[in-house]
Structure 1
Amino acid sequence: MPQQLIELGALPGGIGGDTIRSANVKCNANFTELYRGQGALGTASLRNTGTSGAVVPLLNASNSFQGTQRFTVGATPTSLSWSAEFVMSSSIMNAGRVVFHQGATYGLCVSATSTGSTSGFFNFQVVDLASGALHRAPLTMNVDGTLIIGGHVNPIGDNTYNMGSASRRIKEVFAGSGIINTSDAREKTIVRPLSTQELAAARDLSKEIGAFKFLSALAEKGESARQHIGMTVQRAIEVMKSHNLDPFSYSFICYDAWEETTVTHPAEYAAIKIPAECDEAGNEIIPCSVENGELIKEACTEVLIRAGDRYAFRMDELLAFIAAGFEARLSALEAG
């Protein structure tokens, strides 16, 4: 509702102005609008009222939003990257939650719980709409970025998606058993024996196995960095080429390159609220708006990932290749 102005009338006696009653009616209407903005939406007298034709339902234990609700602001907040937000807060543990659903059986419940001044977590759970019961352990996201999943993790497609990438590697994998790789004869060509050149390369690769430390671990831990066993891909490539073999035709040799990844941050300005303009009758002519004020922060480009490349092994296939070389040497000795 636009502000309702009291007509004062002509000087000196106010001829033509509002009566005492009509002036107080306008005062009440203006105060009602102010109290609506102060969070007085839960009173019956303000049920299903709003501005510019919007419908704002009564908000209490027995009512809910109906229809499409949109939350918008006039300009992007100076310290945030989004232009609108919906905030629900409560000092009671697990008291605030939002449920999304289509149909009348199950929905998605999103809740937040604080466990301290700088810690907390967010839960995503399936909720039974009839009983309100939460099903299964939740998908939990801690404020430190840890994601805890109370169930199986399956991709939407078979043999289609990766976990991590050459530039975004997973540091370590903790598992109760080994990785299961597809080795179904129905999905492979006939397994051919390795050639004399390949067996010779496998023999030479076994001689390259040694101990080393990662440079990043040395920088972090010094001499207490742990020893690792293996070889470098670059040396393996040299060995394969020395036997006239194309190293990149073998899947145990891996190489990936990536381009620089950046994100552009727009300039940030202080927000200046421009009040609505109304005619003499109090009808809104130009709605209120928000304009950019003083520049707070210049636009900038942030580099998320620098361009680079990396060599890697499929270690299980490399060891199988080397094992074939061992077998050939043992067979030759036994045939002696």
Structure 2
Amino acid sequence: MSAKFLRTLVMIIKGYKAVKLYKYVDYVSKSHFTVKFLKETIVASPIYIQIFGFFVIVTLLYLSSSYWTFRQEKFSYENHECLPVKDVPPLMNESPACPRLKIFCHMQSLPRCVVRHHGWSRTNRSQNILVNTNDPTVCFRVKSSQSTDCIRGNVGYTEGTHCWEIHWPRTKRGTHALVGVATEDAPLQGPYLMNLVGNNKHSWGWNLWTNMLHHDSENEKTVPYPNFRDKYVKYAAPDKFMVMLDMDQGTLSFIVNGRNLGIAFTGLKGKTLYPIISVVFGESQVTMSYIGGLGNTPPSLKALSRLLIRETVGRSHIGTATKRLNIPETLMEYINNSRERHLD
């Protein structure tokens, strides 16, 4: 190694007559910065030093950005892990008991083909999100730094009340995990880490990390959700929760352990809306299981009678209780059959 090369290397490291880098930093979110562009490079050195210094700086910027993103996503949950509480804290305005919600929580299991049909879309997704070949209710985000990726449901809803369950482990969410609904015009990929669902007027989303609601957030303020009595309470949604979309009333709500957290969004009537999620965490797996839909007519007497029996007997004793009743086998199966709704 020549003495001239060593002097050149020292000159680059010290920054003496080497590359002077002017960069503009654009504030993207509360915890992320991105280099917008390089304004100019002033070099008072030979051309090979310019080229070498330029590649060194670009490499260092890329590595530091990727490492910071990894650290942020990895340790953000570790700092957040102590926040969730076991039960939902008291809400400012408790939602009254909703018969439709109770019916959804005790609804019979749908045929597997119906659940699969209401799963994730294989076409309306970011290229970084894959749908399970054998089970379209499961999607998986591949590792990809510095991007935000979305996927929509396969079925859009224009009327009736629809409910689906989201299974998204807290350890695989990151800081920009959003769940909500969107129209066909909502974007499915962002160039950097961002709250993509709710970023524009075509989508509505709940950030599971910050507990904030987003809709057209480029122009409108975000709103805290759920609205707890103690505004300083620390809470994170569990791995499984439910989403209830009422297209007749034009509202979107979220349910945890059978408890309605309140109406998150209104004014959705007259649109065609699809379930959607926004993912930034690498190797995240999210499952969406369609629970069912109800029309705008009152629940049937049959459904209400089944609900009353199940609530009176109790979920844990329903199997034993129905065996003691002198009822046909078909009716017994109708009363007993129900998916787990995490009501404990």
| TM-score class normalised by the smaller sequence | under 0.3
The TM-score, its normalising length taken from structure 2, stands at: 0.25
- Higher Cα Rg, which structure: 1
Larger relative contact order (Cα-Cα within 8 Å, sequence gap ≥ 6): 2
The TM-score, its normalising length taken from structure 1, stands at: 0.25
